[in-house]
Amino acid sequence: MSSRLANVVILLAAVLGAIADRELLGQSQGPPIEARLVAFTVDPQSPEFGEVFDLQLTIRIAPGVIAFLPDTLVSATASVSAGPGDWSEIAGPGDSVDVRANYPVMGFLNGRVDLPSLELWIRQVTDPEMSGVRPASDLGDALLDPVDGARRTLIPVGAIQIAPLREMAEAGDALFPRPPADVLGGQWSIWLLSAIGVTIIASTVLAWFLISRWKLANSATEGHDQGRSPRDEALRELDRIRELGWHAEGRFVEFYEGSTAVLRGFSAQYEQEWGIALTSSELLERLRDRWGPSSVEVLASAVSVAEWVKFGRYRPEIEAAEGHWMMIRDWIVGMPEG
């Protein structure tokens, strides 16, 4: 009986393994899973508030597709990429490919913090290509080109616990009532003063960052208080961004981020959540669903390059950047106000 039982267990394990392989390779019923997060770790395991830590991801790419990895991750509410990442690939189960990616990340809150998401662009291989991974910069202007077939996939990573600064914790342990005679005594610690200073500086930087993003995203709607229409305010803000000359100074990320933020702010008059809750690519999809592909055709190139600039290494010529800026401006001029 024990021998029969062992044979049954071995057979059951083989069946379960075959089912797992079919799901991995996208051969089970339903659409195949082209890329998925297998695991992630952080180093150090308990990063502190404001500390840069390594986020290590393992992504499994199904056979028959090519995945384009960005330099940086899509920022979450309280965590952002702290610099470009790197990656390598190894053979996975079946004909799949496992990608080991490493990104520096920084968290801005204590406690549970959602990690930035991984944005992949995926397309089917064509002869004589092989499945695998390439940098997002290889996509060029074709991020949203339906002929190229690249599709955007946003993979949530998860959340971790961010520990408070040691100095802050030590300062909290030291805060207990003291007799009046000892208030200015020798028990005051340099760590307490340092923790207070670090907390003030970090809070100020975080508040400035959030307020700046909010003002930029909503700049197209603030003109109502001054009697300006959303279109007039959006065009006024676009002209201001061009006059700042960021693109002429090589600051293309700020130039494209500011221009697409005006686009989101102007679009918020149609749907409030479009102002700050969507990426530029997601906003383009919503606009296309509402008014049809032809209505946003002029925006496709500008938005795709903006995403490539913000999340990749691409830096266009100054004239090309101004051309994309003009595409956004022309679209705003031609759209009805809500």
- Stated length of the chain: 338
d(Cα 217, Cα 124) in Å, to the nearest integer? 35
- Long-range contacts: 89-93, Cβ < 8 Å, 24+? 89/132, 89/133, 92/24, 92/60, 92/61, 93/21, 93/24, 93/60
Largest CA distance in the chain: 87
Element (DSSP H or E) covering residue 12: helix 2-24
Strand partners, 134: 68
Say if residue 44 is preceded by a cis peptide, omega within 30 of 0.
yes
pLDDT, position 53: 93
Which residue type sits at 285?
E
By the 8 A CB rule, do 89 and 45 touch? no
Q: What token pair was written down for 36?
A: 């998925």
CB neighbour list of residue 22: distance below 8 Å, 6 or more residues apart: 28
d(Cα 66, Cα 114) in Å, to the nearest integer? 27
CA 6 to chain centre: 49
d(Cα 75, Cα 56) in Å, to the nearest integer? 16
Fold designation for 31-162: Immunoglobulin-like (2.60.40)
DSSP string across 147-184: TTT-EEEEE---EEEEBPPHHHHHHHHH-----GGGTT
Cα-only R_g, the chain: 25
Domain boundaries, the chain: 31-162, 218-334
pLDDT, position 41: 92
- Provide the 8-state DSSP code for 183: T
CA distances from 50 to 42, 47, 200 (A): 14, 8, 12
DSSP string across 63-88: TTEEEEE-SSPBP-SSEEE-S--EEE
Q: Give the pairing type, strands 65-69 and 132-135.
A: parallel
pTM for the model stands at 0.45
d(Cα 50, Cα 315) in Å, to the nearest integer? 29
Query: pLDDT in tens for each of the 338 residues of the chain?
Result: 455 555 554 555 554 544 544 444 444 444 467 889 999 999 988 888 888 999 999 999 999 888 888 888 888 888 888 888 998 988 888 888 899 999 999 887 888 989 989 988 888 888 787 888 888 877 765 444 444 577 888 899 989 998 886 655 554 444 445 555 444 444 555 666 677 777 788 777 677 766 766 666 555 444 444 557 888 888 999 999 999 988 888 888 889 888 888 887 887 777 766 655 566 667 778 888 877 777 777 787 788 788 788 777 778 888 888 888 998 888 888 887 66
pLDDT, position 140: 63
Segment 131-185, tens digit of pLDDT: 888 888 777 654 444 445 778 888 999 899 988 866 555 544 444 455 554 444 4
CA 259 to chain centre: 18
